[in-house]
A and B are shown apart, each in its own frame.
Chain A
Amino acid sequence: MNVHEFQAKQLLAQHGVAVPAGEMCDNPESARTAAEKLIASGHSRVVVKSQIHAGGRGKGVFKSGLQGGVKVCSNPEEVFVNARAMLGQTLVTKQTGPEGRVVNKLLIEAASSIKKEFYLAVLLDRAVSRPIVMASTEGGMDIEEVAARTPEKIVKESIDPAVGMMPYQARKLAAALGLKGELIAAGAKLTLGVYRTWWELDATLVEINPLCLVEAGGKESLIALDGKIGFDDNALYRHKDIQAMRDLNEEAPLEIEASNYQLNYIKLDGNIACLVNGAGLAMATMDIIQHFGGSPANFLDVGGGASEEQVAAAFKIIMQDPNVKGILVNIFGGIMDCNVIATGIVAAVRETGLNLPLVVRLEGNNVVAGQKTLAESGLTLITGDSMADAARKVVKAVTA
């Protein structure tokens, strides 16, 4: 699960990480009021930041023609005008895809006087099953590009989970970023706060890009100018406050519906829907559709031991995708009874009045009875003997 920048900054602030003063607003009037407050408290400029779950907002373009999802303003009226122009509009960035995302929330924040930008992130190092903290002097850049072009500019500290991140490790990173004097301690404190946010909240990623050296009233300090946090879905049960931050507007409606049935569904761009049991087999089914010249419309894992009800629910979900021109069901019924699955398929097809080509490949436990159920159903479905046979048939049916 992901959260918005304003939520990530709230969580970081709770763990002692300095973030700019600001608040979330969902209408132009409250944006103006928030800006007035910031200016009254001594800030000379205010930033209006679109809140969507995607990066590249600053360089994004609204479908209305407005350039930039992040605007620096010098008075409350300008904030009001920009907020009005952004809210309810669709922002397209390099991460949203051409369809873009509707901006429903804005972060109204004090602008900072930036002297230097850094990068800081905490993630899991899968190779050693330990957390790793990464920092770079190349702040504000795409870190993947930095890693590819100048890997020496990324410094890393591996964390022993038995003791957590030690202060010396945070100081080493601060020193490697070129910080001096009091800023070493400030940088270490901030880094430890970011690490604790990652560990205590069961995050998969905490990324501060950029982390900024700013100046105010002749005094330098470090501040998290942006913040991105992704959470481990498996651990959300112990973080009710984070569950409450879920923004359903940022998720595809069909994916939300699927999650209500404990189904793993991800919408893709193709026209052949797939319904499969098991994540590995579901990925492999998408791959084999593409191998035979087709294009998968979705990833859908009904689980290793799917029930008749789940199969029926899954059918209804994939049928709602208007791009779908054919369906491939690929079930390896190891323990579960293929006849139960076949019965579920027949019921779902009847109930939904399916009129698209449907190819079914069933294998495993009680498969003969399952195939008989399909054959005697009177439904015009195509059976596949193997994954390859089924994939070929569905591609042919869709392109015919």
Chain B
Amino acid sequence: MGILVKPDTKVLIQGITGSFGARHAQLSIDYGTQVVAGVTPGKGGQVFEHHGHRVPIFDTVAEAKKQTGATASAVFVPPAFAADAILEGVDAGLDLVVAITEGIPVNDMVKVKRAMEGARTRLIGPNCPGIVTPGAGKDSQGGCRIGIAPGYIHKQGHIGVVSRSGTLTYEAVWQLTCRGVGQSTCVGIGGDPVNGTSHLDVIKMFNDDPETHGIIMIGEIGGSAEEEAADWIRQHCRKPVAGFIAGATAPPGRRMGHAGAIISGGKGTAAAKIAAFKAAGIGVATTPSEMAETLLKMM
């Protein structure tokens, strides 16, 4: 069920003793996610306790993986140390590293991407809300939540959601859940100009996932990742896709919050992305209030 992570995925948290990492480790444990290890250099041997759960802390990702069998990691370490933390997860041979950290220097990520060429690890993010594969319990508990998304807004089901933005993802998920429609997996790929996984990478996985029956793709101004995904969808995607592009009113040359959300050199406009969506047969929501409705009409 779903892509990238399943309810039994064993998760470790890099930066579990920081306030941000600790808070979201607790929320993931409450959600029923298998949080099996924490990593904080120098605090190996300590234990992270929450509601009777005892999560061992290790000095290195390699040791955490060896001792617990964790296959996925959430990175909550501060921006200056995040590139190092990501590559430590890659070196340990994890299947998945999800970098939540916002504010990593672009050139650090350029180096990370280069160093990851040929590696088995998939990186999601940085500057992203993470991944949720909803569970079957009340408020979708029992699922796998890696990152900072609110678990309770989800519902187990068959719609895949991929987005660069956090709160706009929650908006789409909530619209679905309020209509009684569940999600297979929701993936926030992050708002930075250099990220580990693109819209297209996730769309391909949804296309191959038998549990996913329809897709919501949310993009924003800047870059051309949405156009690339649209072009592939036009030729290969067998499932209905609805989309929304944020930033139609954004002035050129200004960064709209996300480091990657900038129209530069006349490229990356909302108009161009919407045109690419339409050309690919993607249902375009005219307002962000209609993302779920647009998809459901197509199904």
Contacts and interface: CB of A to CB of B under 8 A. Distances in A.
Contact of B223 (A126, A234, A285, A290): A126
A212 to B, nearest CB: 22
Contacts of B288: 281, 284-285, 287-288, 387
Contacts of B247: 283, 287
A386 B105 contact: no
B191 A280 contact: yes
A202 interface: yes
Given A124-B110, A129-B194, A334-B167, A283 B220 contact: yes
Interface string B92-132: 00000000000111111111011100000000000001000
Contacts of A277: 167
A237 to B, nearest CB: 7
Interface residues of B, number: 65
Contact of B150 (A160, A233, A280, A365): A365
Given A126-B224, A286-B250, A278 B165 contact: yes
B257 interface: yes
B153 interface: yes
A204 interface: yes
B257 A161 contact: no
B246 A268 contact: no
Contacts of B193: 124, 126
Interface string B198-223: 00000000000000000000101111
Contacts of B251: 266, 268
B76 interface: no
Contact of A199 (B107, B170, B225): B107
Given A234-B79, A234-B259, A334 B248 contact: no
B266 A387 contact: no
Contacts of B148: 304-305, 334-335
B106 A291 contact: no
A204 B110 contact: no
Interface in A161-196: 161-162
Nearest to A336: B150
A41 B218 CA distance: 60
Contacts of B171: 281, 284, 332, 363, 387
A21 interface: no
Contacts of B265: 143-144, 147
B158 interface: no
B174 A283 contact: no
B235 interface: no
B166 interface: yes
A309 interface: no
Interface in B273-299: 286-290
Nearest to B24: A335
Contacts of B220: 279-280, 283
Interface string B241-284: 00010111111001111111100011000100000000000000
Nearest to B262: A204
Nearest to A365: B150
Contacts of A334: 148-150, 153, 166-167, 170
Interface in A292-345: 296, 299, 301, 304-305, 332, 334-335
Contacts of B185: none
A388 B294 CA distance: 14
Contact of B170 (A162, A235, A332): A332
A364 interface: yes
Nearest to A126: B223
B164 interface: yes
A133 interface: no
A148 B150 CA distance: 44
A161 B113 CA distance: 9
B287 A287 contact: yes
Contact of B248 (A131, A144, A204, A287): A287
6 contacts: A129-B113, A161-B114, A162-B114, A279-B258, A283-B246, A335-B148
Interface of A: 124, 126-127, 129-131, 143-144, 147-148, 160-162, 199, 202, 204, 232-235, 237-238, 264, 266, 268, 276-291, 296, 299, 301, 304-305, 332, 334-335, 363-365, 386-389, 391
